Amino acid sequence: MKARLSFWQIVNMNIGFFGIQFSFGLQQSSMSPIYKYLGADEASLPYLWLAGPMTGLLVQPLIGAMSDRTVTRWGRRTPYFLIGAILCSLGLLAMPFSPTLWMAASLLWILDAANNVTMEPYRAFVSDKLQPEQHSIGFLTQSAFTGLGQTLAYLTPSLLVWLGMNKDAVNSSHIPHIVIVAFMIGAVFSISSVLWTLKTTKENPLSESELQAMRAKPAGWRHAIGDIVSAVREMPHTMRQLAWVKLFQWYAMFCYWQYIMLSLSTTIYGTTDQASEGFRDAGLLAGQVGAFYNFIAFVGALALVPFTRRYGPKIMHSVCLALAGVAMLSIPQIHTPALLFVPMVGIGLAWASIMGNPYVMLAGCIPPERTGVYMGIFNMFIVIPMIIQIFTLPLYYRSLLGGNPENVIRLAGVLMLCGAVAVFKVRIKKTPA
């Protein structure tokens, strides 16, 4: 029987998510600029982001299935948290010292694989620990730490400038020193936050019957793949319907992350020259507005809890996606930096909902003994839209979007509105309030 946890126990359980999301925030805010500093072509940027979705597609379902079957004295999920956090910290330390484009792209594969080793067992861990009526507070608290971690990741370069670092100081690869220090800070947060969770929150002990059932299952990655295939075949209907929602929202978010800095550099500073001061200023501005929308996500995730309990995750998710759609459509029309913070409120609320409400809808419809594998499969609904975006956007970036990064942001807004409509097609299993 699962014990009912206090709010602060749920907070301690989710602190490790802060470090994971700080790492993701650094990637979202810094990888396109790093690639441009190392000579990447603007239209080809999506290809260089392939590491995240591909490692997510391959690693998360497999690790999720393996963690369902893992029996160690440390627990089912714990070994994956620790291994992933160590590898992630090493990847963060190495990334900003990349001398060439191919090395940066290769390190991103390692970094994303490490993050994915930690991610899905972590989501399964939350479901393992909490009673069904606490799923909303558990996953939305996780969403709040997503917002907090990414807020600090986006804001760290600006904070370093405010503390006295020279924003124009760069290394031999033209990568600013403030970006290098930000990645070092991320390496520390990645390992320390996961260690805090491991110290304060233990996995629920498995009953003897659960242990016997797990030990009776054949071990090894081949059988884990078989479990994934079986789970896909038996996937709950709610989960299949959520796939359409996630197609729209994640294609949109990938467009936004890849091109928001380039869009701001044209609308606010009138340049896409990576060697110019305006381009570096656009990077700082993108970090500041990104930090703001993640801060809104941090606060909004907790604020959404009572509304989600009252109106349900479906209605709240649709409203939040619609706000983001309107916000993204407005961004290219803004030419004053201060006004950019207004649409970030809508994007922040959507980001809070994206990282919480779909998991609330999912948790009530999957069998508890297969939480790991289904959380891993659910991640495929994130990475497949990203892969589609990577291989389709370059095909029409110049022909349909005029080679203009502002039009990519507009496209993201339209897709968010499509996602808001698609949510209403989802039928969810009601859980106790």
Q: Does an H or E element contain 106, and which?
A: helix 101-129
Q: Is residue 222 part of a domain?
A: no
- Find the helix or strand (DSSP H, E) in which 377 lies: helix 371-396
β-partners of residue 170 are 176
pLDDT band at 177 (very low <50, low <70, confident <90, very high): very high
Task: Give me the mean pLDDT over the 138-150 stretch.
Answer: 80
Please check whether residues 89 and 192 belong to one and the same domain: yes
Check pLDDT > 90 for residue 183: yes
Q: Which of 105-114, 252-261, 319-328 has the lowest mean pLDDT?
A: 105-114
Domain membership of residue 36 as a residue range: 1-217
- At residue 179 the predicted structure's pLDDT band, cuts being 50, 70 and 90, is very high
CA-based angle 22:25:30, to the nearest 5?
125
The pLDDT, as a whole number, for residue 431 is 47
Q: What is the pLDDT of residue 327?
A: 97
Q: Are residues 55 and 137 in the same domain?
A: yes
Q: Which has more pLDDT, 215 or 351?
A: 351
Q: Do residues 206 and 259 both lie within one domain?
A: no
**Whole-number average pLDDT of the chain:** 84
Q: Identify the pLDDT of residue 231.
A: 77
Are 231 and 208 within one domain?
Answer: no
Q: Are residues 127 and 8 in the same domain?
A: yes
pLDDT score of 430 more than 60: no
Specify the CATH number for the domain of residue 51. 1.20.1250.20
pLDDT of 166 above 60: yes
Q: Is residue 243 included in any domain, yes or no?
A: yes
Domain-terminating residue out of 194, 217, 240: 217
Q: State whether 320 and 178 are in the same domain.
A: no
Give the domain-ending residue among 184, 217, 250. 217
Q: Domain end: 217, 244, 269, which one?
A: 217
Alpha-carbon torsion 338, 420, 240, 231, what sign?
Answer: positive
> In terms of domains, do 38 and 82 share one?
yes
Q: Write phi, then psi, for 170 (nearest 5 degrees).
A: -135, 160
In the predicted model, what is the mean pLDDT of residues 284-289?
Answer: 90
Q: Is residue 417 part of a domain?
A: yes
Q: Are 109 and 91 in contact (CB under 8 A)?
A: no
Q: pLDDT exceeding 70 applies to what percent of the chain?
A: 92
307 pLDDT band, cuts 50/70/90, is confident
Let me know if residue 368 belongs to a domain. yes
- Please report where in the chains the tokens 């939480």 appear, as a residue: 371
Distance CA 30, CA 184 (A): 13
The structural domain count of the chain equals: 2
Please provide the distance, in angstroms rounded to a whole number, between the alpha carbons at the two ends of the chain: 19
**208 and 234 both lie in a single domain:** no
64, two tokens: 């999720």
- pLDDT tens sequence across 85-115: 899 999 999 999 998 888 998 898 888 888 8
- The answer as to whether 176 is a domain residue is yes
Task: Specify if 130 maps to a domain.
Answer: yes
pLDDT at 73: 74
* Confidence check: pLDDT of 324 > 60: yes
Is residue 213, in this structure, part of any structural domain at all?
yes
42-75 tens-digit pLDDT:
788 888 888 778 877 777 677 767 777 777 777 7
Q: Is there a domain that residue 292 lies in?
A: yes
- Please indicate, yes or no, whether residues 2 and 99 belong to a single structural domain of this protein: yes
- Here the tokens at position 245 are 């929602």
For residues 231 and 213, state if they share a domain.
no
**How many C-beta atoms surround the C-beta of residue 339 within 10 A?**
12
Half-sphere exposure of 33 (CA within 13 A, CB side): 32
Same domain flag for 236 and 294: yes
pLDDT at 43: 81
> CA 203 to CA 205: how far, in whole Å?
6
> Which of 11-15, 29-33, 399-403 is predicted most confidently?
399-403
The residue behind tokens 């600013």 is 176
Mark whether 308 and 189 lie in a shared domain.
no
